[in-house]
């Protein structure tokens, strides 16, 4: 008889121990992953364009501190309005999608967010 496969991935262990089966924690994880995804997207697009935070802020008519907050994974105040302005300033198109909830949440590394945003060319 085969032994059950031992889980060694720290993310999977943490997910199973502290998050899986707790709807409030699962929702919080989804929200945090989305915030991190948006922050990373803004940072990557800005740096690919060769712009400083101040230069991007000037292009969209705001302050550098606003761009800094948007690039912070802990920031929860993203708005479609500001994301549209960033997309326009970088000659991109903003796309927002919603997907059906999964019946089984899965692991931290493979779980898909229920709401995602992306900017494309």
List, in order of start, the domains of the chain with CATH numbers.
Answer: 10-120 (1.10.260.40)
What is the mean pLDDT of the segment spanning 110-121? Answer: 44
Distance of CA 42 to the CA centre of its chain: 10
99 contacts 114 by C-beta, under 8 angstroms: yes
The per-residue pLDDT for range 77-94, each reduced to its tens digit, is 889 999 999 999 999 999
The alpha carbons of the chain give a radius of gyration, in whole angstroms, of 18
Task: Specify the pLDDT at position 103.
Answer: 43
Most confident of 15-19, 26-30, 79-83: 79-83
119 band by pLDDT with thresholds 50, 70 and 90:
low
Segment 44-81, tens digit of pLDDT: 999 999 999 999 999 999 999 999 999 999 998 889 99
């Amino acid at each position: 008889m085969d032994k059950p496969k031992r889980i060694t991935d720290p993310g999977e262990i943490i997910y199973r121990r502290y998050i899986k089966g707790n709807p409030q924690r699962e929702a919080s994880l989804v929200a945090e992953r989305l915030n991190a995804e948006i922050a990373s997207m803004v940072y990557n697009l800005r740096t690919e364009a060769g712009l400083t935070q101040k230069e991007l802020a000037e292009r969209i008519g705001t302050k550098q501190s606003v761009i800094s907050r948007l690039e912070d994974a802990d920031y929860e105040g993203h708005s479609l309005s500001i994301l549209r302005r960033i997309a326009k300033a970088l000659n991109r198109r903003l796309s927002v999608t919603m997907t059906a909830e999964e019946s089984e949440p899965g692991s931290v590394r493979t779980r898909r967010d229920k709401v995602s945003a992306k900017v494309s060319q």
